[in-house]
Structures are given as C-alpha cells and as structure tokens.
Amino acid sequence: MNVDKNRRRFIKNTALLGTSVAMQYLIPGWAKSGNLNDTDGLKALSGDVFDLSVSKRKYSIDGRTGSAILINNQLPAPLLRWTEGDEVTLRVTNHLEEDTSIHWHGILLPFYMDGVPGVSFPGIKPGETFTYKFPVIQSGTYWYHSHSGLQEQLGHYGPIIIEPRNVDPVEYDREFIVVLSDWAFENPKRVFTNLKKNSDIYNQQQRTLGDLFADIETKGLGSAIEQRKMWGEMRMNPTDIADVTGTTYTYLLNGHSPVENWTGIFRPGERVRLRFVNASAMSIFNVRIPTLPMTVVQADGLNVKPVETDEFQIGVAETYDVIVQPESEGAHTIMCESNDRSGFTRGTLASAAEFIADVPALRKRPLLNMRDMGMEHDSGGSMTSSNGNHHGHKMTNMITHDHPRGSGVVGQAMAPANRLDEPPNGLENEAHRVLVYTDLESLDENPDKREPERELELHLTSNMERYMWSFDGIKFSEVEKPIEFYEGERLRMTLVNDTMMPHPIHLHGMFFDVVTGEHSNKPRKHTITIKPGEKLSVDITADAIGDWVMHCHLLYHMIAGMMRVVSVIPSEQKTS
C-alpha cells in the first residue's frame, strides 16, 4: 500500500471530527527505534520502587494535537520491569483535576491493591499520592491502566514485563514490546454520548442496495429478502462488528500511527520475542507478519506449549508473546488490522532503519452470519451438551438463571454453541493458519486439577438501540448484590453471549482455566474474548479473598453496564 495514499486516508478520516482547538506540539514519548542495542525502543523503569505521575498533556499524532492523560508524560505509559519474587512499591501521584487510579491488569495481588475505585479502594484524589505495595508472585507480559471513567481512552495505559525468578523456558535473543491501542481526537465523553444516541454512528461500512443485488445473485431472491427481513426484525446490522471504528480512531502501535511506522531493529538469524499487548479501549486486532511465521509461546502472561501460526486475533486486554526468526536482511511489516477492517496500525521489523516493507491492503469487510445470531445448530464440533455441561461431566449444585429479561435485553441466542475451535469472524476462510483458543495448551499442568463442584451461568446481554450492556439483563448500576464465590472452591462459570458482538471478559484477581477439553493443561487466561452466539465455560479457583470486578473490557460497554462485583467470601462465612 502506498504510504502517501495511506496518510491521505487517515487525514481524511480524522477530518470528519471537525476543527480541533489549537495546541502546542508534543513529541510522542516512545521514539522510533533505530538502535540495534535498544531492545525495547521505549523508556523503561526497573527495580522495586517506582514513582508514577498522572497528568493531562497535549499529544500529537500525524501533525494533529489533542488532549491526553499520561503517566510520566509518556504515551503509552512507561514500561515497568519487575522481577518475580520481589516486592514492588509504586507511588502514584495525581496531578489531574479529577480522581484517577491504576489497575494492574492480570497481576495477582491483595484486593485492596487492585485499583478499582468504589470496589477495592476509594481512588486517588487530585493532588494526592497513593502507594501500591505488593509481592510479585508471577512472571510474564502484563499491563496497567486507569479504572476511572474514560481515562484509559485518553492514553492512561502502559506495559509490564515480569522476569521469571528461574530460567525462562522461552529462548530468545532480542525482544520488543508491541502495545496496540486506539486514539480519538474526539472527546471520549462525546463518543459515548454519540453511541447512546445512535449506536451505528461510527459504522461507515453498512450494506447498500448493491449488496442486496449481490445477495440475490448468489443466494436467490427469496433467501436474500428473508435474511434482510430477519436482520430488520432483530434491529441489528450484519456489518456491526465494532462500535467505534476507523471513522474516528487512529490505530497506534507503541504510540505511533501507521504513517509514523514504529521500527524495531534485529540481526538476521536472531530469535526475536514480540510481546503484544492490546491496550485499546474498544478495538480488537487481527495480527500477522505476512513474510514470517509466528510461534506463540505465552498468552496473558502464562507460558503455553509453542504453537506456530500465521495470524492471531488479540482481544482488548489480552496479551500474546510470539517468537519470530528473520533469517536475512530486509524488513517485515507487523500488520495489525481492526477486526471490522475499518483501519489498521503497523510497525516494522528491519535489519536496518532504512528498510521498509510493503503494507498489505485492508481486506474485505466481514459480515455477521446465522451462527453469530446463535440461530445455527451445532454440527457436532461443539463440546456443549443440551444441559450446558461439557463432556458429560455432572455438576452438583448447579446454578442457572432464568432467561434474562427487561429493557436491557433485546434478543437471545436460541442455540448458542461452543466456538472455541473456530477462527474469529472474518478469518474463517483464510488460506493460512489462524490461531484459535483450542490451539493453546498450558506449558505446565494446571495448578488446580479438581473437578468443579458447582456451576454458575451468566448471559452477556444488550439493547443496542439504547446502547445498554449488561450481564443477565441487569446493568451494573442496578445490581443489588455481588456474585459470591467461596474461598477455596472450584467452580465452573458458563458464559453465554446473547449479543451480536464479541466481548473480551476480564476477571480481576483470578485466572480462568478455559475448558477446551478434559485435560490438565487447559489454557489459563485473565481475559477471554467470547464470540457472538457463543457458549463456553471456564473453571475458576476462588483463592483470592475480597471484592473483585468482572467486566467486558470494551470500555464503553463496561461504562454502559456490563460489569459485576465478585466477592470471594472466607470459607467460615459461607452460609448453607
């Protein structure tokens, strides 16, 4: 793709936002890497004591300047390097005129250090310093971000790398951190208001009369008209893949736009570790390096058995570590396409700074289908039986919910299916290898191999016309009591997506053991993206006493109500 053409496209898209207030220029904090000895290409803080300052600053992308909330004047925030076994102290000073916070995403710690205002602590008031202090009991790639309002959308996020105490099972010669994010010059409060008024406002890829004629030609008149009628009755759009799109977003890699082209330098023959973090507010990315295979070695900070692939989808808040090995001089494009294909970001791996690789054109826009509606019965690949259990395993004390009802629910999947072994929407027909969750196996055996003793079922629900998002039809502000786990118990949570959109669901304080089969090496994740019309299960060990939150990590979905409090109750307080 021609870079000048690409620049014009992005300028045209951002011009739709109107005239911005004149502001001074601020150079991005993560400079383009052109030094062979610079393995990160960004400023890193290491040790066990950290001082972090949260402030509002002006930030420039592609010559346009907007307002950002930054940590230590950097976007993304500084890379924090910890070591497993240490105790870290992080002094966070708030220079904003509003409360702020930091949540340490995927980090196992005492609940009062988790950083969720109103749940685990009061938040950090303007002018105050809050000290986080906790032992580091894990290793891997993680990240941190605000849990206050919409600050995360404004740049309040950064990566964490925790070095293992013992030998790292992953061998590599060089590493780069790749932080993906989405940036809008439009105020996030206005974005949310726009979505409440018209949930399709950022969808510029809606179907046309020409698409109808094409459907008639391929499917026949009756079938084409019937499907159009069905979509209309559900008040849904088959192009509604993402709520906020490239219409307003510029997609970033390490704080750089595609035009700015972040570059990491390697020596031919080196094993290069790429640590991907999706720190977006709303954007799911499909990631590929067209000229290099990738070997996935870690997911959400935990080691997995190496699996080679050509493309993977990374949901909001997920992390993936991959190994690539460029054998010769030249350049390779890291292509990160938004899942609705309204835009992309990219970076370059090169043996010298002057090399630039071709950038693939955006692929055809995907469409939702009958399976995404939860209306297509499974053909045999699903592991879910008619009673919601997996592989015939019998639950005791199974908890089920009535079908969610109320103003927060429009539509419900009639035949939800387990889709863990299916490529994400839009990647089903790729000729190359696409990673699916069932490809992932934990490198080590799961620490808790007990069978679950009870099951909890939750539905992901929505009313798109009113932009309401919820669990079981109840938005967070209307919830009367938390979900209760009991200390030490092993339970199975079954999640049913009754909406037409994917949702990255994150549980604070504990990991999900994703039920991909009856084996002891289930992939363990802190965030799992649930496809439309999907029903899947995760096993959880309730070993973290306190109040935690579970929520969709699409920021505007969380703000609109798709969040619940999970209370892990000490065993002696359990009631019969």
Residues 369-417: tens digit of each pLDDT: 767 766 654 433 333 332 333 333 333 333 334 457 666 676 677 789 9
Residue-range definition of the domain harbouring residue 86: 15-167
Residue 471 lies in a domain: yes
| List of long-range contacts for 291-294, beta carbons under 8 Å, 24+ apart | 291/332, 291/333, 291/357, 292/324, 292/325, 292/326, 292/332, 292/349, 293/324, 294/322, 294/323, 294/324
The whole-angstrom separation of Cα 316 and Cα 152 is 12
Residues 492-524: tens digit of each pLDDT: 999 999 998 999 999 999 999 999 998 999 999
Q: Indicate whether 20 pLDDT > 70.
A: no
The whole-angstrom separation of Cα 46 and Cα 228 is 56
Quick one: pLDDT band at residue 22, thresholds 50, 70, 90? very low
Query: Which of 167, 202, 227 marks a domain boundary?
Result: 167
Quick one: pLDDT band at residue 253, thresholds 50, 70, 90? very high
For range 463-491, the mean pLDDT: 94
Q: Indicate whether 39 pLDDT > 80.
A: no
Q: Would you mind telling me the total number of residues written for the chain in this entry?
A: 576
Residue 543 lies in a domain: yes
| 41 membership: H or E segment, kind and range | none
Residues 213-230: tens digit of each pLDDT: 565 567 677 665 666 666
Residue 441 lies in a domain: yes
Residue 494 lies in a domain: yes
Query: Which of 117, 136, 167 marks a domain boundary?
Result: 167
The whole-angstrom separation of Cα 199 and Cα 236 is 10
Predicted confidence at residue 231, as pLDDT, reads: 56
The whole-angstrom separation of Cα 456 and Cα 452 is 11
Predicted confidence at residue 216, as pLDDT, reads: 56
The whole-angstrom separation of Cα 398 and Cα 313 is 33
What CATH number has the domain bearing residue 446? 2.60.40.420
Residue 268 lies in a domain: no
Query: Which of 152, 167, 182 marks a domain boundary?
Result: 167
Residue 159 lies in a domain: yes
Residue 519 lies in a domain: yes
Domain count, the chain: 2
Residues 427-463: tens digit of each pLDDT: 999 999 999 999 999 999 999 999 999 999 999 999 9
**Mean pLDDT rounded to a whole number for the chain:** 86
Predicted confidence at residue 562, as pLDDT, reads: 98
Q: What whole-number percentage of the chain has pLDDT above 90?
A: 74
Q: Which of 493, 487, 498, 486 is nearest to 512 (CA)?
A: 493
Predicted confidence at residue 217, as pLDDT, reads: 65
Predicted confidence at residue 50, as pLDDT, reads: 98
Q: What is the dihedral of CA 350, 353, 358, 364, to 10 degrees?
A: 80
Residues 40-99: tens digit of each pLDDT: 567 899 999 999 999 999 999 999 999 999 999 999 999 999 999 999 999 999 999 999
Residue 351 lies in a domain: no
DSSP, collapsed to helix, strand or coil, labels residue 315 as coil
Looking at per-residue confidence, does 211 or 192 come out higher?
Answer: 192
Q: Which of 483, 482, 461, 480 is nearest to 557 (CA)?
A: 461
